[in-house]
Structure 1
Amino acid sequence: MFLHGYLPSLLEGALVTLSVALASLALAMVLGMAGAMAKLSRFRAARGVAQVYTTVIRGVPDLVLMLLIFFGGQLAVNEIALALGHEDYVDVDPYLAGVLTIGFIFGAYLTEAFRGAFLAVPPGQREAGLAYGMSGWQIARRITLPQMFRHALPGLSNNWLVLIKSTAIVSVIGLHDLMTRGSQAAGTTREPFVFYAAVAVIYLAFTSASELVFKHLQKRFSVGVRQGLL
């Protein structure tokens, strides 16, 4: 039998992995946009907070942050619950901890990608929008954000490819993702090469499909833009 009947289990784990990756990307994009706006802000405090966030997060290994947030967060939640009179032990959901950690990590990387993308939009275009009587929201929606997103796509694509592979670290906190199910199958059958190769193929399928999606988005957002000759 193909993969000793473990294929359905691996596919279920793959769906969990993909779900974690997409939820983490959504959180990372929100944090990245907020961080980019803070770094471009005229307020020194906002720039300082954003700088500390990106420096610390990009300088600490992902696995260390995962363990700190999961176990440290669990300790903090129970201390707060005890202080509020709740005596039962509170377990932090591994899925939630994984999404928060990965989203928090890649929010720092997307902060820099979005900041550079904002700076790549010529300021004269915003000034032209003001001259035409556009509101700030209209300028952002029609001029700044579409161009910013086009400039941010390469960085967003690279970070997404790294993010989806980084989801493997959620296996250390007990989430039944693709990596965990592959490890369980490898241990049960004593065929680690077969099952880790299967896990690698599924990750490769995710990243290959993602590259096709980002190529389509790049073409869509580059309509009417002259591409430089290589």
Structure 2
Amino acid sequence: MNIDLHGFGPALAAGALMTVKLALSALCLGLVLGLLGALAKTSPYKALQALGGTYSTIVRGVPELLWVLLLYFGTVNMMAALGAWLGMPDLTLSPFAAGVIALGLCFGSYATEVFRGAIIAIPKGHREAGQALGLSKLRIFTRLILPQMWRIALPGLGNLFMILMKDTALVSVIGLEEIMRNAQNAVTDTKLAFNFYMVAAVMYLGLTVLAMVGMHFMEKYAARGFTRAAQ
């Protein structure tokens, strides 16, 4: 069955590319924030534990849409002041940058708990073995803890990324031309709401399926040594 897109096919394709760029950029930021948050929460220092707990609690307690709106509209005066100081009066936070920061913050707050659980799941004996070999704390973390942590955390991170992929639709409210925004533009022009929203749904579903396939191979690759040991 052919669906007439009334000339909006290229715009929807461009929106899909923007959605992927937004999701991957937010993923990179969120992974860094999540790892830092998990290290803070598992730190022996109370101040760092409090900092990590405060970050994950506050960010998870506010809807993602509100973070998008707060970061985009709430930074107008700050960006204007910074632009005046730098001699750039037109300096603003773009919808893409606001979306990346907002979604990255939210992804990172949930990833903090995933990473924390993965770190806790690693037996203490592995750290003690590294210490017995004379390894530094940094090498113990990078050589022993981090590889195992990724294997344990990947399923949870995969689920979070699929949610992140769909949450990119929220950034349409601040004008970013991703799938949802371009679908809304098409509906406004053609009045064919069901047709274009169904196309948008299929596009999100397709991206989610691709993400699931990618995560399957990543999990299989990460577990390759453990799979052989089990056999």
Distance in 2 (alpha carbons) for counterparts of 1:95 and 1:32: 21
> Structure 1 length normalisation: TM-score?
0.92
Flag the 1:181–1:131 CA change in 2: closer, same or farther, 3 A.
Answer: same
Aligned residue type for 1:103: G
1:22 aligns with 2:24: yes
> Structure 2 length normalisation: TM-score?
0.92
CA drift of 1:81 comes to 4.0
Distance in 1 (alpha carbons) for counterparts of 2:184 and 2:97: 22
Identity of aligned residues (%): 41
Partner of 1:216 in structure 2? 217
| Secondary structure, counterpart of 1:41 in structure 2 | coil
1:37 aligns with 2:39: yes
| Secondary structure, counterpart of 2:58 in structure 1 | helix
Aligned residue type for 1:175: L
Partner of 1:133 in structure 2? 134
Aligned residue type for 2:7: G
Are the equivalent residues in 2 in contact too, given 1:74–1:90 (CA < 8 A)? no
Flag the 1:88–1:221 CA change in 2: closer, same or farther, 3 A.
Answer: closer
Aligned residue type for 1:128: A
Distance in 2 (alpha carbons) for counterparts of 1:121 and 1:163: 27
CA drift of 1:85 comes to 8.0
Aligned residue type for 1:68: L
**How many residues align structurally?**
226
Partner of 2:71 in structure 1? 69
Flag the 1:91–1:81 CA change in 2: closer, same or farther, 3 A.
Answer: closer
Aligned residue type for 1:54: S
Flag the 1:195–1:41 CA change in 2: closer, same or farther, 3 A.
Answer: same
Partner of 2:157 in structure 1? 156
Aligned residue type for 2:31: M
Distance in 2 (alpha carbons) for counterparts of 1:88 and 1:156: 40
1:184 aligns with 2:163: no
Distance in 2 (alpha carbons) for counterparts of 1:91 and 1:37: 33
Partner of 2:170 in structure 1? 169
Structure 1 residue runs of 5 or longer lacking an equivalent are none
Structure 2 residue runs of 5 or longer lacking an equivalent are none
CA drift of 1:86 comes to 4.9
Aligned residue type for 1:8: P
